[in-house]
Structure 1
């Protein structure tokens, strides 16, 4: 691919999140898209139009040539992306792969609509599939329900069991679990490991200083929950499951890159495109204020360089004074940006989970360093 010498200065696009469908077939009470302060989804098209997808493909082609990209990760997201239907998902994958053959695809879904036709399509384009589930049936059905209040676990589990078949191993990306500290951590981990996921993402409930997460009045409750999960996972090392939060903390303790924007400092080069073609920042910012993730730019009139340059100026990565003097700042990086928000001070604050992150990182560091010291002694 040519054109690198003319590439503009700055970070190229690294990950593109495409909201190909803006509605969902579940009504989870903790959903940061539909249940948070930003309600912009109400005015957006249900499905991303073919013309919008084609415009995105052209933007990708232009950006790839200007920056001489070797690859690009594109995440199909929603809402629930599978609601776009077999033909809609196929059209999006085909247009983007045609524009930039080195695209790496992934998808985040609730798994309810997974079927053999979808799986064949996802294999064709090498789409790694992540499924959202919160552990076993009781934990999952606590929040992940249909609009009529009925639990969704049975249908989600059926979709995951399809992915677990040996012939689908190469597209089974893992599971995403939103933490509820009212759920027993051992039971949650057991429920997740029962699906033999290659990776688990543990997601802290989105909240901030103005709109705190659940149980914010219980000091270190999230740290204690996560430490229980870490200790069991670390002691057992269950195959084949990796837990990205814990591995990212360990990596940062030794100066290595984090695998997630929630630790190690904000990761640049990530852009979201909504169903109407609007460029947005992280979905988590929907919990901060109305229009929290908005940029005012769209694929119709602006390139990916335009939006990345806009974000560098309008949403610079800065840490509060408290964070800069913290002994673990190089590990947590201040935590997720959305979790630092307060109406009066913007993002100039530590994470609303600050004390939990400090306790968790300290515990993991103590355990890992103790093992390394023991190994060194045995090696003498």
Structure 2
């Protein structure tokens, strides 16, 4: 390295380490881009491609993970490294090929150093798949957007509704005793029905419920996501619904996150900044290419950013790729965006800058502070909680309290 560039390199590395964890807590693996469904809001650019991940790629990932888990278990976390099987529909690979890709990780899993997770649409589930998921200790997530009419945008490649097949898959999970979480995509069409949506999802008895407000990302750029005003009203009703539920009802993921933040704020934990640094979240595509910060960047054509490739697992380990991450143009832009967030946004203490991919898909750059995703998914729940507190304070007898005040969102 040219001695003149050493100070610049040191500054880049310092910025990176201040904002992003040196060791990932999760890795995303995309064994195929193909999906048997053709949901109208899907963001995947290559969901028609059926070529599977070669076993050599999985073996290279496993070798890298063997290096990472030593750092992880000896550093900031004692939790297993999460390996998240994602992208199109992982189960579309078939059990034989999927099992072949799992084998390289089995020693790590048996030692308790790695934990598998899979997000899927449940339409391909049968008894044999349930047995495999149990055998390998998978955490299972299922995507369903509510009752049949609210799930109407989940269709197969012939345009037929997938709802009945999704429900049969969920019933198989329950019959086999496989715990599962649920994720629902909330659109402009469904955001006005939170009680009906949540009643339906809770009745399926998941371990948790996630509510993803529809986003503009990947190839899903024609639809218009909900506004912040719609989202605030939605989250107000979600809060009210949650408070009415008896003990044992599946928690809503976003409210749990908000609660953890409040507890951490009250405790004034000195390690908050460390705990809230972004996970670099390496994502490994089926050909071994590695992408950082956002799985949605995989497969996107963007010549100015070298299509977001950070390296290839067949050529470099994850550790080596992360060791050079601070030099990537899009990573540097993301750090600039985070710095802008911290200096201008009252919500930063809660969300810590949020998602990288949404910046690019909404603005074609990462060096921006606020996105629609921020407004509906990060800001709106906080504003909804503030509104709820304000209303409850206003209804208390005047002789029992001083004039109500609501702290700014960053302090709630």
**Which TM-score band (shorter chain)?**
0.7 to 0.9
2:296 to 275, 284, 288: 284
Q: Is the 8 A contact 1:265 1:334 kept in 2?
A: no
Which among 335, 339, 355 is matched to residue 336 of structure 1? 355
Distance 1:334 1:296 in 2: 21
Equivalent residue in structure 1 for 2:369, among 331, 342, 349: 349
Q: How does 1:247-262 map to 2 (within 5 A)?
A: 247-255=256-264
Pairwise mapping of residues 153-302 of structure 1 onto structure 2 (< 5 A)? 153-165=163-175, 167-168=176-177, 171-183=178-190, 184-207=193-216, 214-215=223-224, 218=227, 220-237=229-246, 239-255=248-264, 267-281=278-292, 282-285=294-297, 290=302, 294-302=308-316
The whole-number CA distance in structure 2 between the counterparts of 1:104 and 1:193 is 25
Matched, 1:116 2:123: no
Larger helix percent: 2
> Taking structure 2 as the reference length, what is the TM-score of the superposition?
0.75
CA gap 1:45/1:160 in 2 versus in 1, 3 angstroms: closer
> 1: CA distance between counterparts of 2:58 and 2:365?
37
In the other structure, the counterpart of 1:363 is: 384
Deviation, 1:304, is 1.1
Provide the residue aligned with 1:30 in structure 2: 41
2:124 aligned counterpart, secondary structure: coil
Task: Compare 57-66 and 296-305 and name the one that shifted more.
Answer: 57-66
CA deviations on 1:72-118 (whole Å, 9 max, x unpaired) are: 11111231011111112222222212245321111111001111111
CA-CA distance at 1:366 after TM superposition: 5.4
* C-alpha separation in 1, matches of 2:85 and 2:365: 33
When the two chains are superposed, the root-mean-square deviation of aligned CA atoms in Å is 3.4
- The residue number in structure 2 matching 1:54 is 59
Q: 1: distance between equivalents of 2:72 and 2:338?
A: 29
Q: Which of 136, 141, 150 pairs up with 2:160?
A: 150
Which residue of 2 is the match for residue 63 of structure 1? 68
Judged with a 3 Å threshold, the aligned counterparts in structure 2 of structure 1 residues 54 and 138 are, in CA distance, closer, same or farther, namely same
SS where residue 230 of structure 1 aligns? helix
Structure 2: stretches of 5+ with no match in the other structure? 1-16, 268-274, 401-412
Asked if 1:98 corresponds to 2:103, the answer is: no
Deviation at 1:321, TM superposition (A): 3.6
Check conservation: 1:205, 1:213, Cα contact below 8 A. no
Pair 1:15-2:26 in alignment: yes
Q: 1:246 to 1:214 in 2, by over 3 A?
A: farther
Taking a change above 3 Å as real, the CA distance of residues 129 and 157 of structure 1, as seen in their structure-2 partners, is same
* Secondary structure at the counterpart of residue 29 of structure 2: strand
**Cα distance, 1:217–1:74 mapped onto 2, change above 3 Å:** closer
Q: CA deviation at 1:323?
A: 5.2
Query: Post-superposition shift, 1:361?
Result: 0.4
- Give the Cα–Cα distance (whole angstroms) in 1 for the partners of residues 94 and 300 of structure 2: 32
Contact 1:201/1:244, CA 8 A, preserved across alignment: yes
Q: Displacement, 1:360? A: 2.6
- Looking at structure 1, the residues matched to 392 and 194 of structure 2 have their Cα atoms a distance apart, in angstroms, of 24
Matching residue of 2:3: none
The Cα offsets for residues 238-271 of structure 1, whole Å up to 9 and x where unpaired, read as: 63301111111222234369xxxxxx96631421
Q: Confirm or deny that 1:140 pairs with 2:122.
A: no
Distance 1:340 1:65 in 2: 33
Please give the alpha-carbon distance, in whole angstroms, between the structure 1 residues aligned to 2:346 and 2:170: 40
Equivalent residue, structure 1, for 2:9: none
- Describe the shift of the 1:231–1:79 C-alpha distance in structure 2 as closer, same or farther (beyond 3 A): same
Distance, in Å, in 2 between the alignment partners of 1:132 and 1:223 is 23
* In 2: Cα distance, 1:327 partner to 1:296 partner: 32
Q: 1:225 to 1:186 in 2, by over 3 A?
A: same
Structure 1 segments unaligned to the other structure (5+ residues): 1-8, 258-263
Quickly say closer, same or farther: Cα 1:224–1:344, change in 2 above 3 A. Answer: same
Displacement after TM superposition at 1:340 (Å): 2.9
Pick closer, same or farther for the CA change 1:298–1:327 going to 2, 3 Å: same
5 Å-filtered alignment, 1:319-334, equals 319=338, 321=340, 324-334=343-353
Which of 1 and 2 has greater Rg? 2
